Amino acid sequence: MNKKFLSLWVVDPIKTYAAPARVNLIGEHIDYNGGHVLPCAISLYIKAAVSFNEEKKINLVSEDMKGQISVDLSNTQYDKSYSWASYPIGVIHILREMGYKVDKGLNMLFSSEIPLGSGLSSSAAILVLTTYVLNDLFDLGLSNLEIAKIAIKVEREYCGLSCGIMDQSAIALAQKDKCLYLDCASFEYEYKNAVLEKTKIMILNTKYERKLTDSKYNERVSECQKALSIIKTKYGVDNLCELDPKDLPDIGILLNDDLLYKRVKHCVREEARVKAFVTALDEKDYSLCGKILNESHFSLRDDYEVSGTNLDVITEIARNNPYVYGARMTGAGFGGCAVALVDEEHAYQVKDEVLTKYKERFGYDAEVYLIDTSDGPKVL
């Protein structure tokens, strides 16, 4: 990275930073419905090398993208042409808008081992990383919770995705060996032990590119809002995840709309699954954890309709292996990654089988990562 940096801007970087990806173990598509989620940061990282410049320019290069994007520090309004660079530029824009003193030009080179657009939240990683870098360089005095909140604001208000609070929080607040049990309605959180005895978290990347994910994502958000507006008054709730699963049949009648009912059913039952999963994890009942993962996948496939053939097949291959407790898609869906809980001793055997069978079925390679949990952003 340093060589590339030097060749780009004829100076050495003054500092290099890193932020992890995250995987959500359970609680999918409910962060924007006031539910609980259980993500942990994982040992795949995006790095940023930085230096100041005297020209008050923001110069951005990513080893994972083509070309260089340069803007004046005083002219950071959203522009479609920024493409990927709208994430770091957005952070600078929003911080300055909030009154933080970010008043020098910067050269930033990013390099990542997080697969992009695959459900491991490379977008939150680049946002949290940039906010962390600026906080450090300009001495802004932000806590990691404030960093998460600013990254959320940027993805929502600058990048235009009506995202929940999970991804940025999972990364900014991460602690090794822990997962974050986060209440997305109140922003309250606690850490749960993620040290799994003789068990490993495995990420299965379908390498199937998600298409139209953002528009489908925003579509689900508005379907849930529509359903909530119908149910809200009668059940006295502010979020779908506050509903009681035993009220589902009556809610179905009230909604009188099959599609909206399926969306609500997923949210309500997924919320119950998160709570059951947390208990099972505390009790080290990995078989039950696995069963809950499987049920979550079926609900995302059939009721929330955000899975896809590749995700269905890769999780089924895993699920059919005797050393896998359970597997489900993770992230927004439609492609990208799944997560599985596997017996540690047989993890490589599981990996080989998934890779072989997946290739037989689709004719191209999946990727499988055996990961550890990780701390949050840091200076290297």
# chain residues binding ligand ADP, by CB under 6 A = 18
**Distance set, CA 171 to CA 41, 119, 166, 377 (Å):** 6, 13, 9, 7
Per-residue binding string, ligand ADP, 176-205, x by CB under 6 A, is ------------------------------
Nearer to ligand ADP, 18 or 260 (CB): 18
Contact with ligand ADP (CB under 6 A) among 20, 119, 333, 335: 119
Q: Name the amino acid, one letter, at 59.
A: N
Using rule CB under 6 A, residue 84 touches ligand ADP: yes
286 binds ligand ADP (CB under 6 A): no
Instruction: Report the residue from 9, 110, 304, 325 that binds ligand ADP according to the rule CB under 6 A.
Output: 110
* 132: partner contacted, choices ligand ADP, Mg ion, none (Cβ within 5-8 A by kind): none
The one among 24, 51, 59, 118 contacting ligand ADP by CB under 6 A: 118
Of 85 and 196, the one with the shorter C-beta distance to ligand ADP is 85
Length of the chain: 380
Q: Are 39 and 183 in contact (CB under 8 A)?
A: no
Name the residue with the smallest CB distance to Mg ion.
Answer: 123
d(CA 311, CA 378): 32
Does residue 123 touch Mg ion according to CB under 5 A?
Answer: yes
Phi, psi at residue 48, to the nearest 5°? Answer: -135, 130
Spatial distance between the Cα atoms of 147 and 19, rounded to a whole number of angstroms: 12
Token reading at 299 = 């609900």
- Annotated catalytic residue 167: yes
d(CA 107, CA 87): 15
**End-to-end alpha-carbon separation of the chain, Å?**
13
Size of the site for Mg ion (CB under 5 A): 2
In order of 96, 108, 112, 133, 378, the CA distances from 140 in angstroms are 11, 18, 25, 10, 16
Judged by CB under 6 A, the residue of 112, 131, 135, 296 near ligand ADP is 112
CB of 120 to Mg ion, least distance (A): 9
Nearest in space to 26 (alpha carbons), one of 199, 179, 185, 208: 179
User: Cα 7 from chain centroid?
Assistant: 33
Nearer to ligand ADP, 45 or 358 (CB): 45
Stretch that binds ligand ADP, among 117-125, 256-264, 314-322, 348-356 (CB under 6 A): 117-125
| Dihedral (Cα; 297, 298, 299, 302), 10-degree rounding | 130
By CB under 5 A, residue 169 contacts Mg ion: no
Distance of CA 252 to the CA centre of its chain: 30
From 57-65, 72-80, 218-226, 286-294, span contacting ligand ADP (CB under 6 A): 57-65
- Which residues have CB under 8 Å from 218's CB, separation 6+? 161, 162
Two tokens, residue 6: 């030097």
Please say which residue, 209 or 365, places its beta carbon nearer to ligand ADP: 209
Q: Tell me which stretch binds Mg ion (CB under 5 A): 19-27, 50-58, 78-86, 117-125.
A: 117-125
Binding-residue pattern over the window 304 to 343 for ligand ADP, x denoting contact by CB under 6 A? ---------------------------x------------
Query: Which residues belong to the active site?
Result: 167
**Which residues of the chain form contacts with ligand ADP (CB under 6 A)?**
46, 62, 64-65, 84, 87, 110, 112, 116-123, 126, 331
